[in-house]
Amino acid sequence: MSNMKKILSLLLLVIALALAVAWWQVRQFAAAPLLIQQETLYQLPAGTGRVALEASLAEQHIIPDSLWFAPLLKLEPDLAKFKAGTYRLTPGMTVRQLLQLLASGKEAQFPIRFIEGTRLSEWLQALRQAPHIRHTLPEDKPEAVAAALKLPEDALLEGGFWPDTYLYTANTSDVAILARAHARMQARVASVWEHRQPDLPYRDVRQLVTMASIIEKETAVNDERGKVASVFINRLRTGMRLQTDPTVIYGLGDQYRGALTRSDLERATPYNTYVISGLPPGPIAMPGQASLNAAAHPLKTAYLYFVADGKGGHTFTTNLASHNRAVQAWRLAVKEKNER
């Protein structure tokens, strides 16, 4: 009987030792770094089970072939609650950290940047070229965007989306990103319109955004935006034409070749403010907050003219004679720069 007890005790010891070794091996496997040497995107399809996950990770050389993958998931069942998605794996990440990431559902985020002063056509090109976006727009045209977002016929498209950097996960649709940008612009514009200066010469919020888009295209210098706005407001109030080149360029569309000619300035388009009186029918770009603020709160000045000063800014003047001198100074600065 004593021999049987010894054998049983020995067997239990062996089993305990085997379990301890197995537990240690599982822990070692969980703490082992991934095989990747650089940042890697891993896509986990919906419906993937434990066996398929292990096979996928091994086939892509993310984890080593091991006997301990399944035991790890049994010992730590929270790691087995992985969710479908696209995940960003980094060198040095351990097997446990990988499984924790897959269980967290924190998918990789990708940025897309829309810059102030760009047009809707440029946004649609950027969306078309961005990685991991699901393209649902049938064509890159304003009409397709309006239909996809279910916008009314008179909705702002040009000038109707908030310029910013947007983060998205893989398989996010182009329309979903545009919907976020449109909602943000609506909220910003509504706030600016509500708090605008009284007695501005705008019939409606569309005209304020149109003015903001012109300011956005005329200067990138924040301190100048209020002055630029004052010039155009003064011109509107006195009945002078705005005569701003960016509106001409917008009206020319694909016919613009990089430099305006006299015939371009004389060509009749709905946006040519050398030909039409008042503001053009709509925005010419996506304005940012600073330009919206300037349109809603222009400085009170007597300026009627401005021209580039050759140093990145502009010279503002109140009469044509002073403006002509400023134009001559700008031309001289450009000539000297070209001769260097």
DSSP state of 275: T
Better-predicted residue by pLDDT, 218 or 13: 218
CA distances from 155 to 29, 41, 75, 142 (A): 58, 39, 57, 11
Q: pLDDT tier at 150 (50, 70, 90 boundaries)?
A: very high
Give strand pairing partners of 315.
307
CA atoms within 13 Å, Cβ hemisphere of 213: 31
Q: From CA 292, how far away is CA 124, in angstroms rounded?
A: 23
312 pLDDT tier (thresholds 50, 70, 90): confident
307 beta partners: 315
C-beta separation of 74 from 126 below 8 A: no
Tens of pLDDT, residue by residue over 79-89, are 999 999 999 99
Radius of gyration of the chain from its Cα atoms, rounded to whole angstroms: 32
pLDDT tens digit sequence for 253-302: 989 988 899 999 999 999 999 999 999 999 999 999 999 999 999 999 99
Contact assessment for residue 209 and residue 192, using Cβ atoms and an 8 Å cutoff: no
More confident residue, 336 or 306: 306
Give CA–CA dist 178/135, Å, rounded: 12
**Inter-residue contact 267 to 279 (CB < 8 Å):** no
Task: Express each pLDDT in 51-60 by its tens digit.
Answer: 999 999 999 9
Whether the full predicted model's pTM is greater than 0.85, yes or no, is: yes
Positive or negative: CA dihedral 229, 233, 234, 236: positive
Structure tokens at 109: 């985020």
What's the mean pLDDT in 133-140? Answer: 95
The distance in angstroms from the start CA to the end CA of the chain is 107
Assess whether pLDDT exceeds 80 at residue 42: yes
Q: What is the pLDDT of residues 198-225, one digit of tens each?
A: 999 999 999 999 999 999 999 999 999 9
What's the mean pLDDT when you consider all of the chain? 92
**Which of 25-29, 135-139, 259-263, 301-305 is least confident?**
25-29
The CA distances from residue 244 to 15, 109, 178, 264, in Å, are: 87, 40, 29, 12
Tokens of 28: 């070692």
Q: Residue ranges per domain, the chain?
A: 204-339
User: Which neighbouring-strand residues pair with 41?
Assistant: 88
On the 0-12 / 13-18 / 19+ scale of CB atoms within 10 A, 209 is buried
* pLDDT higher at 283 or 25: 283
Residue in 319, 339, 311, 315 with CA at minimum distance from that of residue 327: 315
Alpha helix (H) ranges present in the chain?
2-31, 50-59, 69-75, 95-104, 120-129, 142-149, 174-194, 205-218, 222-238, 245-252, 262-266, 289-296, 320-339
- pLDDT confidence band for 67 (50 / 70 / 90): confident
User: How much is the average pLDDT of 43-71?
Assistant: 92
Amino acid (1-letter code) at residue 236: L
Q: What is the rounded average pLDDT of the residues 63-70?
A: 89
Higher pLDDT, 11 or 126: 126
